């Protein structure tokens, strides 16, 4: 009998989304100065011009929520609603964010495959949250500079929410990204400059266009969306984390978000705060401001001049507003920052697909190349559990051409196919 009642009470996806759950969003804090900002009003950067971090009443959260309750819910980022700032269920803007799998790529090596998310990249996590919060706060027009995937996720979630979106891409952004942005309802422009030129256009357009600036970390909620990678990883690994995490680092939202997730989980006692993973920031050697600052012992990273072209466009970010948050997390975790050469990225990308059937994105391949390099120089050992992040589908990138053709009007030379 009891079992029957239990199964009746088990929330199905529909019920779960219909119910308003208690929220614990308390206030925001400047990531650098720690000064407080009120919840439930619109914010951009802090007074110091730095990213704002969301703070929760974690004592209250842990009194009302336990891991068994979470386990009964459907997977995906909304499973962790109490750790997120959206107050009202009606403001959730969703395209079906699933729990992404951990795919094995060898002994002690796992890849968290974020390519399965809506719009084919983990930018969906951040923009799902940011657009939901924009809806909650009554924002109806948003604009963003992008190298591709963030713009696509913004376009999709904004259209889903009935918001107008304006997206500015450097003119060397891959055609597929520009087209997917347009197809998903945004107004999109190619700009004859770099991502920072696009950012300037968004900033200066705020006044005449009345749009809200959705640039990376210039609004507080994308970090919370990316934080769910850390919550989900801990949950999937039975609340024990890997020894080391390799993260392809551009603006660093995901690395900052995961580190924040681990801090929150440790604070409520769901994971052991003394056994957190070493966080490794991976960049391409053509644009590696975080690696340079890490090696120089600096807390802030200067602008990387003349960022070199790389297939791994998602990590080509010459200057990051959250630089100190990335560097703080890497250092606190006992991790490091590493740059990989373009040819090792391309070689890993093609070889892993050919040999294992797993088509990573080039940014994901960069983390693999960095893992190999770190094994070789002894920064990581092969008996440690490592998790790499594959953040977008490999299908968005131009693949090497193939030239084989077969004439079906003539006898096939089967021996020649071998
Ligand atoms: C945006 C992006 C990154 C970098 O993510 P951040 O959290 O902004 O550092 C890495 N890989 C891909 C495929 C991306 O689109």
CATH number at residue 188: 3.40.50.1100
Same domain, 238 and 323: yes
Q: How many domains, the chain? A: 2
User: CB atoms < 10 A from the CB of 41, how many?
Assistant: 8
How many Å is the Cα radius of gyration of the chain? 22
Pocket flag, ligand 1, residue 121 (CB < 6 Å): yes
Which of 191, 213, 235 delimits the end of a domain?
A: 213
- Could you list the pLDDT tens digit for every one of the 418 residues in the chain? 333 333 334 444 445 555 677 899 999 999 999 999 999 999 999 999 999 999 999 999 999 999 999 999 999 999 999 999 999 999 999 999 999 999 999 999 999 999 999 999 999 999 999 999 999 999 999 999 998 999 999 999 999 999 999 999 999 898 999 999 999 999 999 999 888 899 999 999 999 999 999 998 999 999 999 999 999 999 999 999 999 999 999 999 999 999 999 999 999 999 999 999 999 999 999 999 999 999 999 999 999 998 888 889 889 889 999 999 999 999 999 999 999 999 999 999 999 999 999 999 999 999 999 999 999 999 999 999 999 999 999 999 999 898 889 999 999 999 999 8
Same domain, 227 and 192: no
- Domain contains 165: yes
Same domain, 257 and 380: yes
**Nearest atom of ligand 1 to the alpha carbon of 256:** 7
- Domain contains 60: no
- Domain contains 95: no
Q: What is the domain extent for residue 206?
A: 123-213
CA of 79 to the centre of ligand 1 (A): 23
Same domain, 279 and 143: no
Half-sphere exposure of residue 120, counting CA atoms within 13 Å on the CB side? 17
Is 183 strand, coil or helix?
Answer: helix
Same domain, 237 and 264: yes
Which of 181, 213, 245 delimits the end of a domain?
A: 213
Pocket flag, ligand 1, residue 289 (CB < 6 Å): no
Same domain, 198 and 249: no
Same domain, 186 and 315: no
User: Among 248, 311, 313, 368, which is best to mutate for testing ligand 1, by the most ligand atoms less than 8 A from CB?
Assistant: 248
User: CB atoms < 10 A from the CB of 348, how many?
Assistant: 22
CA of 146 to the centre of ligand 1 (A): 11
Same domain, 235 and 382: yes
| H helices present in 10-163, as ranges | 13-18, 58-64, 67-71, 123-136, 149-161
Same domain, 240 and 193: no
- Domain contains 345: yes
Name the closest-CA residue to atom 1, ligand 1: 314
User: Among 117, 123, 315, which is best to mutate for testing ligand 1, by the most ligand atoms less than 8 A from CB?
Assistant: 315
First to last CA, the chain: 62
- Domain contains 192: yes
- Domain contains 244: yes
- Domain contains 99: no
Same domain, 200 and 154: yes
Name the closest-CA residue to atom 4, ligand 1: 250
Determine contact, residues 218/224, Cβ cutoff 8 Å.
no
- Domain contains 154: yes
CA of 314 to the centre of ligand 1 (A): 5
Give the helix/strand (H/E) hosting 343: helix 342-356
Name the closest-CA residue to atom 5, ligand 1: 250
Determine contact, residues 146/198, Cβ cutoff 8 Å.
yes
Pocket flag, ligand 1, residue 314 (CB < 6 Å): yes
Contacts of 251 (CB under 8 A, 6+ apart): 216, 217, 317, 320, 321, 322
Name the closest-CA residue to atom 10, ligand 1: 314
pTM assigned to the model: 0.94
Same domain, 152 and 234: no
Same domain, 254 and 365: yes
């Amino acid at each position: 009998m009891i079992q029957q009642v239990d199964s009746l009470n088990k929330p199905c996806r529909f019920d779960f989304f219909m119910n308003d759950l208690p929220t614990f969003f308390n206030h925001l804090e400047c990531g650098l100065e720690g000064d407080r900002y009120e919840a439930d009003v619109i914010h951009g950067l802090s007074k110091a011009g730095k990213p704002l971090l969301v703070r929760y009443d974690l004592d209250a959260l842990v009194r009302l929520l336990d891991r068994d309750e979470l386990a009964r819910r459907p997977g995906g980022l909304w499973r962790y609603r109490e750790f997120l700032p959206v107050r009202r269920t009606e403001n959730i803007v969703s395209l079906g964010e699933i729990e992404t799998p951990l795919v094995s790529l060898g002994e002690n090596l796992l890849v968290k495959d974020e390519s399965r998310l809506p719009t084919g990249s983990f930018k969906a996590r951040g923009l799902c949250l940011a657009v939901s919060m924009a809806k909650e706060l009554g924002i109806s027009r948003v604009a963003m500079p992008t190298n591709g995937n963030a713009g696509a996720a913004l376009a999709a979630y904004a259209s889903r929410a009935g918001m107008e979106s304006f997206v500015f891409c450097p003119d060397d952004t891959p055609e597929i990204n520009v087209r997917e942005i347009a197809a998903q309802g945004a107004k999109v422009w190619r700009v004859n400059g770099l991502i920072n030129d696009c950012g300037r256009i968004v900033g200066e357009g705020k006044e005449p266009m009345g749009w809200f600036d959705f640039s990376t970390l210039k609004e507080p909620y994308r970090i919370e969306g990316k934080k769910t990678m850390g919550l989900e990883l801990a949950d999937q690994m039975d609340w024990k984390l890997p020894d080391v995490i390799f993260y392809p680092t551009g603006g660093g939202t995901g690395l900052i978000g995961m580190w924040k997730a681990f801090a929150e989980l440790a604070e409520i006692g769901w994971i052991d705060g003394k056994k957190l993973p070493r966080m490794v920031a991976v960049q391409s050697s053509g644009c590696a401001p975080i690696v340079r600052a890490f090696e120089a012992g600096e807390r802030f990273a200067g602008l990387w001049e003349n960022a070199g072209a790389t297939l791994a466009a998602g990590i080509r970010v010459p200057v990051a507003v959250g630089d100190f948050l990335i560097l703080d997390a890497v250092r606190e975790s006992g991790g490091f920052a590493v740059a990989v050469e373009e040819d090792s990225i391309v070689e890993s990308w093609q070889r892993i697909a050919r040999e294992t059937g797993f088509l990573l994105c080039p940014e994901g391949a960069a983390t693999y190349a960095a893992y190999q390099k770190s094994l070789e120089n002894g920064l990581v050992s092969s008996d440690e559990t490592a998790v790499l992040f594959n953040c977008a589908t490999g299908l968005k990138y131009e693949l090497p051409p193939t030239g084989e053709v077969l004439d079906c009007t003539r006898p096939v030379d089967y021996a020649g196919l071998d």
